[in-house]
Amino acid sequence: MNKSGKIRRVRVKLGCRSYWIHIGSLQKTSVELGKLISGRGVLLITDANVEKTGVVEDVLEDLSGASDLGLIVLKPGERTKTLGAVEDITGFAARHNYDRKSCFVALSGGVGGDLTGFAAGIYKRGVEFVQIPTTLLAMVDSSVGGKTGADLPEGKNLVGLFHQPAGVFIDPEFLRTLPACEWRNGLAEVIKYGIIRDGEFFEFLWANRKRLNRRGADADLLGAVIERCVTIKAEVVAADECESGLRAILNYGHTFGHALEQLSGFKLAHGSAVAIGMVLAGRLACDLGIFDRESADRVEALLKAVGLPVSVPAGYAASDIIEAMKGDKKNEGGRIRLVLPESLGRVRITSEVSEEKLFEFLNRQV
Amino acid sequence: MNKSGKIRRVRVKLGCRSYWIHIGSLQKTSVELGKLISGRGVLLITDANVEKTGVVEDVLEDLSGASDLGLIVLKPGERTKTLGAVEDITGFAARHNYDRKSCFVALSGGVGGDLTGFAAGIYKRGVEFVQIPTTLLAMVDSSVGGKTGADLPEGKNLVGLFHQPAGVFIDPEFLRTLPACEWRNGLAEVIKYGIIRDGEFFEFLWANRKRLNRRGADADLLGAVIERCVTIKAEVVAADECESGLRAILNYGHTFGHALEQLSGFKLAHGSAVAIGMVLAGRLACDLGIFDRESADRVEALLKAVGLPVSVPAGYAASDIIEAMKGDKKNEGGRIRLVLPESLGRVRITSEVSEEKLFEFLNRQV
């Protein structure tokens, strides 16, 4: 990866809550990071996996303009994403007298980023925070848009709030050390953006599928891919910050996906679950006559080409999947809400698919 | 109290988050309550003390238009105000499949109201909630304005968020069974409104001080007092929802008060602490030459007349009070922020009083 590569910047337009996403070497964007935190109390939150890569020291250096600088290292993994962890973070801040002008910084994948944003959103009723995502999934998805949260024993992301970051700093260099599974988790979301909003981007990904089928693709390609993804996400979020309409399209593949993840006891990786979910949504849309079979096949082929699964693993019952889907927090009035493709680059949101139809369809997929 | 008494309504003007405060018998305002919750999942949250008074059944009846109706009874008292309680409430909602259109209803004093609002603010990233305050303090203060939160082991209200209720229903009838200590807690805040914003209201309270010096004052007087308090609070909140300026005047008496509460291990009641805090702020303002002695004496006399304490209990050291004040979440950049009276009806916010001056002043008060 070329450290002298270009810096790309995307603006998330949300009025007084607008912010910049900086894509490029942190060595080059640290000036902007320094401006955001200058003279303020800063609490850096990372996890043990990120710490092992040795980047924490560099980032602490970038944050040296803070009036006070603390570090919390979380246990990695979804199990850490609890209200208990939020209590730990905010308790640490309280014991060290962080005031309302403080800034929390997440140097982390999605779990740490969500927790940091949540803790920042409720500490003294809200302080600012900055995202420095370390995984592809966090770079293209969770670090942008202000969704923060934690899990409950009852399910994922059941508590949280919308709290926009003050800035996002994406350094693709971090992806060099990313495990293959984490890389694929991110690619599932990357492909999602093409299907829901940008047919041309889908074609671009298809044309570059071989270069994407490994971690550490070259800096130019990665920079371009990440820029396109966060630009789409920024557009969608700007149009519908609090998910009252359009924003739900980002959930394409996730209604089926979350159900499969949950039924697997979270052994199925998020990206794999979403990939299978996108395939299922495509096939269902074909069944309903709103999506053509050729496009559905191309979705499957692209996901396969980058190493993602495209069918429901053995042992899942249609009725269990439906039961799990009913718990989705996007449902309203007891009806399951689905995001279904109409073409490559366009989806619709519907609550019109009956449970009977869904059961009949899923029974053929398991 | 006259159940056929008049209904008073105050609008809290916050754009799309505007709402009504209804003051009067719940028997008469339950139509509006019914409209707010009709056809939605409703989770009623109360505490064991309120349950004992027998009002829960009546309120459940008022909520019978809900599509689903759950009840949580919290342990009464400040100790319940934890993130653990928030997890219990949101976990209950998740297990019972409450969706994003649900509405939480707090039938409670300040603790339950703050917890309910907080839980509603983060459950599935935010559902609506309604306040039915049962104490005078909650009626005139905490139920209005959208401040929600919980305590951390490190201090009170250190986590929370601004989340406005969809409506507030104040039935002064509930005050009949209120313990005397709780009544005085509320009166301290009532008197605060006069001092910070409305000299005429201060005179009204002075003129009626004998009628206020007992619980269960008559319905007309109570209705008028509550209406004036929530009108002032609504004005202040509308001008500064998230406490970036004016709203801090509501904190008059609270910087000293919170410190005393904390040093007492919360054995000193909130109202008593705030009363002493208001007296201290008045005396300090006199010392600084911005407030006249006669007005300061009248503040003391009114607080005394309704049974509130006006001097620091024995055993507190000036240095400890200052240390505790430094932890206040309204401070910024390490400076203690104070709200000081200039006249009866007008206060100023200042961070200009040095620690030395404060120490010298407090040393004469303890």
* pLDDT tens-digit readout, A69-119: 999 999 999 899 999 999 999 999 999 999 999 999 999 999 999 999 999
Cβ-count burial B259-270 (b if 16+ within 10 Å, e if not) = bbbbbeeeebbb
Q: Which of A158, A327, A331 sits opposite B90 (nearest CB)?
A: A158
**Span A30-59, mean pLDDT?**
96
φ and ψ of A68, to 5 deg? -155, 140
**pLDDT (average), residues A39-51:** 97
Q: Can you tell me the distance from the alpha carbon of A226 to that of A274, in angstroms, rounded to the nearest whole number?
A: 18
The answer to whether B126 contacts A242, with C-beta atoms less than 8 Å apart, is: yes
State whether the Cα torsion A258-B82-A74-A45 is positive or negative: positive
Residue A138 tokens, joined: 């966090």
Residues of each domain in chain A carrying CATH 3.40.50.1970: 8-177
Tell me how crowded residue A39 is: count the other CB atoms within 10 A of its CB.
11
Contacts of A111 (CB under 8 A, 6+ apart): A47, A74, A76, A77, A78, A80, A81
Query: For chain A, what percent of residues have pLDDT higher than 90?
Result: 86
Q: Which residues of B52-83 are buried (b: 16+ CB within 10 A; e: fewer)?
A: eeebbeebbebbebbeebbbbbbebeeebbbb
Taking alpha carbons only, the member of B206, B182, B166 closest to residue B294 is B206
Task: Compare CB distances from B329 to A87, A124, A158 and report the shortest one's residue.
Answer: A124
Alpha-carbon distance A97 to nearest alpha carbon in chain B (angstroms): 7
How many Cβ pairs within 8 Å bridge chains A and B? 110
Shortest Cα–Cα distance, B242 to chain A (Å): 9
Contacts of residue B293, Cβ cutoff 8 Å, sequence gap at least 6: B286
A216 falls in which pLDDT band (50, 70, 90)? low
Cβ pair B95:A242 closer than 8 A: no
Q: A-chain residues within 8 Å CB-CB of B334?
A: 97, 99
Inter-chain residue contact B126 with A162, CB threshold 8 Å:
yes
Q: Say yes or no to pLDDT of A167 above 50.
A: yes
Given the residues B247, B261, B300, B337, the one annotated as active site: B247
Residue in chain A closest to B331 (alpha carbons) equals: A99
> Domain B8-177's class?
alpha beta
Please name the residue of chain A whose CA is at the shortest distance from the CA of residue B147.
Answer: A125
Helix, strand, coil shares, percent, chain B, to 5: 50, 20, 30
In DSSP terms, A9 is beta-bridged to: A22
- The reply to whether residue B124 touches residue A155, judged by beta carbons under 8 angstroms, is no
- Would you call B101 and A333 a contact, using CB atoms and an 8 Å cutoff? yes
Asked if B215 and B183 touch (Cβ cutoff 8 Å), the reply is: yes
pLDDT tens digits, one per residue of A67-82 = 999 999 999 998 999 9
User: What positions of A carry a catalytic annotation?
Assistant: 125, 147, 189, 233, 243, 247, 251, 254, 258, 270
- pLDDT (average), residues A191-219: 89
B140 DSSP 8-state letter: I
Task: Indicate where chain B has its CATH 1.20.1090.10 domain(s).
Answer: 184-214+252-363
> pLDDT tens across A242-284, in order?
888 899 999 999 999 999 998 998 899 999 999 999 999 999 9
At position A88, the amino acid (one-letter code) is D
φ/ψ of B241, rounded to 5, equals -60, -45
Evaluate whether B261 touches B340 at the Cβ level (below 8 Å).
no
Residue type, A167: G
**Residue A71, beta-bridge partner list:** A44
Q: State both tokens at A110.
A: 């999605």
The DSSP code sequence of A33-59 is HHHHHTTSEEEEEEEHHHHHTTHHHHH
In the sheet where A19-23 sits, what is the strand order? Answer: A8-12, A19-23, A167-170, A128-133, A103-108, A41-47, A68-74
Alpha-carbon gap: A122 to the closest alpha carbon of chain B (Å):
5
End-to-end CA distance of chain A: 42
- Closest to B161 measured CA to CA, from B192, B130, B129, B122: B122
The Cα–Cα gap between B4 and A153 comes to 48
* Contact assignment for A90 to B242 by CB distance below 8 Å: no
ipTM at complex level: 0.92
Question: Which of A87, A161, A331 minimises the CB distance to B83?
Answer: A87
CA–CA distance, B115 with B135 (Å, rounded to integer)? 15
Q: How far is B310 from chain A (nearest CA, A)?
A: 29
CB atoms within 10 A of CB B103: 23
Which one of 3.50.50.60, 3.30.420.40, 3.40.1800.10, 1.20.1090.10 gives the CATH number of domain A184-214+252-363?
1.20.1090.10
Q: Is B147 a catalytic residue?
A: yes
Contacts of A89 in chain B (CB under 8 A): none
Nearest to B159 among A90, A101, A155 (CB): A90
Q: What pLDDT score was predicted for residue A242?
A: 82
Residue of B194, B191, B187, B188 whose CA lies nearest to B344: B194
Residue of A364, A129, A147, A107 whose CA lies nearest to A254 = A147
Each residue's pLDDT, cut to its tens digit, for chain B (366 residues) gives: 444 578 999 999 999 899 999 999 999 999 999 999 999 999 999 999 999 999 999 999 999 999 999 999 999 998 999 999 999 999 999 999 999 999 999 999 999 999 999 999 999 999 999 999 999 999 999 999 999 999 999 988 999 999 999 999 999 999 988 888 899 999 999 999 999 999 999 999 999 999 986 655 788 899 999 999 999 999 999 999 888 889 999 999 999 999 999 899 889 999 999 999 999 999 999 999 999 999 999 999 999 999 999 999 999 999 999 999 987 777 777 789 999 999 999 999 999 999 999 999 999 998
Give the H or E element holding residue A71.
strand A68-74
Distances (CA, A) of A209 to A217, A223, A225, A308: 11, 15, 12, 12
Question: A248, A341 in Cβ contact below 8 A?
Answer: no
pLDDT band at A213 (very low <50, low <70, confident <90, very high): low
Cβ–Cβ of B162/A125 closer than 8 Å? yes
CA nearest B90 in A: which residue? A159
- Exposed/middle/buried for residue A51 (C-beta within 10 Å: 0-12, 13-18, 19+): middle
Active site residue B8: no
Please list every residue in chain B whose beta carbon sits closer than 8 Å to the beta carbon of residue A90.
Answer: 152, 158-159
